[in-house]
Structures are given as structure tokens and as C-alpha cells.
Amino acid sequence: METLRIDGNTRLLVMTGAGVSAESGIPTFRGSDGLWENHPVEQVASPEGFHADPALVWRFYSQRRTGARPCVPNPGHLAIAEWEQMLGDRFLLATQNVDGLHRLAGNQRLVELHGNLFTTRCTRCERPPFEDRLAYPEGTVPLCGQCGGRLRPNIVWFGEPLDSRDLLQVGDFLRRDDTRLVFMAVGTSGAVWPAAGFVDTARKSGGETWLVNAEPAENTGRFHHFIQGRSGEVLPKLVTFE
């Protein structure tokens, strides 16, 4: 297997997708037909779906919280957390996962592009998102303790843009010119934008690009290096610090 060598003049941006979480047993929330309990997933993961039936949306996310709560970080998560400890501010992790396992593993230089399953925010007031690990009883729509507005999961839904501050943080890291850039994507389909385009920005910035995936991704051909395998097996042996 190839080895990625990182020296004192290298910065590393890692982007992770669902493949990393799958190895921790995070349940799949929809079937092979794309449905959840006969509902199109867009119906329970969109602003329009929430407006039409907030109780149904909360039942969906309460079920996801219940399924994700017992899961723990796997060796892939732990390897990525160790890289951050070694690199400090020369490291950034951008994840498409919402399960919070990277934080549990120890990552702090972390951008959660699609939000966090265990945080909640108000649809009416400017209350900051807050930790919320509750699975609400069926039929419940929790209300804000400050303004009485409806609460919603702090997730980026279908049809919603990613937080511009998150994209700016990733973009600034990619375009820094003080160190050599390495970009690594792990466990991702390469089909979800704008994250699927990070590899192109990295290459334009002169970066070396790596993909670690159980199967080839849609954008595999845009990476310099592709290692096929499970992230929990590959990542602990992939990086050598010099």
C-alpha cells in the first residue's frame, strides 16, 4: 500500500463521508428504494416537509438519534483525530456526516458541513444551535424555551445551502500559501456538491490529492492517488510523519 508522507511544511485537509460512519454501524436511514417508511426522504428532510408535517420530521430524526446514539468511533475516526494532534493548525477536517463521531474521537478543528444530528435550533429566533440528544415521543414538535417557536434539527436539508462560513473556512485552508497542501477524501461518493469539487480546488492550489474508499467514487479520476479499502483498515497505516 502507498504511504502518505507528511513533513513539517505540509498541511492536511481531510473530507469524510458516510463510508467512515458506516464502519461504526450508523444505521442506514432509507431503504434501497430511497424511501423511509414509504415516505420519500425529501419529505422528512426539507423545509417544505417540515412546514407540512413537523411531527413526522421529528419522528424521523428521533429515530435517527436513537439509532446513532450507541455507535462509537472506529479506527478510521481515531486515526484522523491523531493526525490533528500531530499537525495542529496545519490540519482541518470537513465532514459530510452528522453523527458527531469525529468529535467523540477527539477532533476539534472540524467543519460539520451538513450540521449535527444531536443539535437543535429555533425556526423563529436567533437562539444559537444547542446540544439536544433527545428522541422525542411520536407526535411531538418541541418548542423554543425562549420564544415559543418551533424547534428543528440543526441539519442542512435538501434545498438548503451550506453555511457560507463553513465553506469560507475550508476555502481559506485550501488556498493558504504558507505550506504544501495535501487533500484527502475518505468514504465519500464524490457526487454531493460542493464537497465533490474540493479536489479540483486543491489541485488548482498545487495540492496532492488522495482518495480512500471502499469502492471507486464518481470523481476518482480527479485524484492523484486512490486506495481502495475500508477506512478503518487503511487510515491507521496510511500516514507517516517526518
What is the CATH code of the structural domain delimited by 35-70+123-155? 3.30.1600.10
- Provide mean pLDDT across the span 6-25: 96
Annotated domain spans of the chain: 4-26+72-114+162-241, 35-70+123-155
- Choose the catalytic residue: 39, 51, 102, 114: 114
Fold type of domain 4-26+72-114+162-241: Rossmann fold (3.40.50)
Backbone angles phi, psi at 4, to 5 degrees: -90, 120
* pLDDT tier, 34 (very low <50, low <70, confident <90, very high otherwise): low
Q: Would residue 213 be called left, alpha or beta, if left means φ above 0 and alpha means ψ between -120 and 50 degrees? A: beta
Q: Is 114 annotated as catalytic?
A: yes
> Which region among 12-21, 61-70, 103-112, 191-200 has the lowest average model confidence (pLDDT)?
191-200
Measure Cα distances from 110 to 93, 137, 179, 188, 239 in Å: 5, 31, 19, 17, 19
Same fold, 4-26+72-114+162-241 and 35-70+123-155: no
